[in-house]
Amino acid sequence: GSPWVPRDTSMATIRAVGGGDECSGIALARLSEERKAWRKDHPFGFVAKPTTNPDGTMNLMIWDCKIPGKKSTIWEEGLYTLRMYFKEDYPSSPPKCKFEPPLFHPNVYPSGTVCLSLLDEEKDWRAAVTVKQILLGIQELLDSPNIKDPAQADAYTCFIQNRREYEVKVKQQASRFKNPNM
């Protein structure tokens, strides 16, 4: 995908200049804790693991995740692939979470990026939020879109104007991303 571009570049520049090393050190320490905690205990059916660099080493700054659709919802048959991109100043800033490929959903940008208050520094993000909480929050969002914060015109319009068609599209999408554990 394309590299993440911060909204306010002036702040990012100041941060980067102010010695990024101790920053990424904190991020890596926290992410390595997150990985340990996840391997010990995580919600059934979910996957979250750091990616592998071309040289075979682990990249803690980018994680591959899979989120199962909730039972008894129109999402339930799917297993949805999401990538988490952590920045050097994590956990001060939230990861960027991106469905790859992008999902048909009112709160998912056409690029695949998830629009969720939990992942927004100006809204509900706190440094204590865990990878597990993020993934559960996104799973919850799938079946309970936030209509006040639309990110994708197609899915939003369909959800508002023709709920039946919306449900058909979501179920078709679920069967495209069939959960092998179902």
SS3 65: strand
Q: How far is CA 148 from CA 3, 18, 102, 107, 152, in A?
A: 28, 37, 20, 9, 12
Beta carbons of 112 and 99 less than 8 angstroms apart:
yes
Sign of the C-alpha dihedral computed for residues 32, 34, 37 and 38 taken in this order: negative
Angle separating helix axes 20-40 and 9-17, nearest 10 degrees: 100
Residue 97 annotated to the active site: no
Question: What span, in angstroms and rounded, lies between the C-alpha atoms of 147 and 166?
Answer: 14
* DSSP labels, 134-159: HHHHHHHHHHS--TTS---HHHHHHH
Which one is catalytic: 65, 97, 115, 158? 115
Give residues with Cβ within 8 angstroms of 139, minimum separation 6.
Answer: 46, 67, 68, 69, 70
Q: Which residues are catalytic?
A: 115
